Amino acid sequence: MLSVTKSMALQGLNGTLINVEVDVSSGMPMWEIIGLPDISVKESKERVKTAIRNCGIDMPSRRYIINLSPADLRKEGSYLDLAISVGVLKSIGILDNADISNSIFIGELSLDSKVKKVNGVLPICIEALKYGIKRVIVPKENAKEAAIIKDLEIIGVQDLQTLIKYLKGETIIDREFADIENIFEKEIEYEIDFSEVKGQEITKRALEIAAAGGHNILMVGSPGSRKDYDGKKSKDYFTRFNI
């Protein structure tokens, strides 16, 4: 049986709709993912199989072919796990009556069927609007971020079993909403700041960029050059910004 689910691939900030085509047929038992997947996507077959089994669902011994279309676009990352698992469940008859025509699925699966947080959910949701998508199903941890896009129905799920019940109509998951005014952290005052550092303009600029982007930074210098600025105080300050 052939099924098609949808996901999204990002190239920079531009998104491309991915059709996850799953065909389950008789023959020698095997799993094959095609459509230019990278290693992390190929490994998803083991995550998907184990997660489905840990939901108490028996997987028939069949030939599973998963095609990621368009096939000429390289697919990277683990965010396709959820779309692949839903496609497999439709093909084996578990979700054969589920209406997913205007939905995309984003999320990584753990072996115990939990749906784990992924990166890039907000630009994916922005791009989904361009394709007429109405509903985006994401990890619960990403739901508030995705809900910033008000024109989409955002559904956050914690595990695959809950998603199965939701798609079968056995349970209700409320649409996620975001309080945009309070979503960003309020300004915090600190005892120290860069105004106390004289000179070192290039270094301070680099630290500001790293703090704004959440990047790591390595400070190199001879002993006694005050790389730590003021011991514990500077450690607390830089830890605050993941530096």
Query: How confident is the model over 24-41, as pLDDT tens digits?
Result: 999 899 999 999 999 999
Model confidence at 173: pLDDT above 60 = yes
Distances (CA, A) of 190 to 17, 27, 70, 130, 219: 45, 66, 50, 42, 22
Class of domain 2-182: alpha beta
Model confidence at 115: pLDDT above 70 = yes
Model confidence at 7: pLDDT above 80 = yes
pLDDT of residue 44: 95
- E-state strands within 70-183: 103-105, 108-109, 115-116, 135-139, 153-157
pTM: 0.75
Q: Residues of CATH 3.30.230.10 domain(s) within the chain? A: 2-182
pLDDT of residue 42: 94
Question: Per-residue pLDDT tens for 130-155?
Answer: 999 999 999 999 999 999 998 999 99
- Which of 31-35, 105-109, 186-190 shows the lowest mean pLDDT across its residues? 186-190
pLDDT of residue 8: 95
Model confidence at 63: pLDDT above 80 = yes
Residue type at position 237: Y
Mean pLDDT of 45-57: 96
Query: Three-state SS for 65?
Result: strand
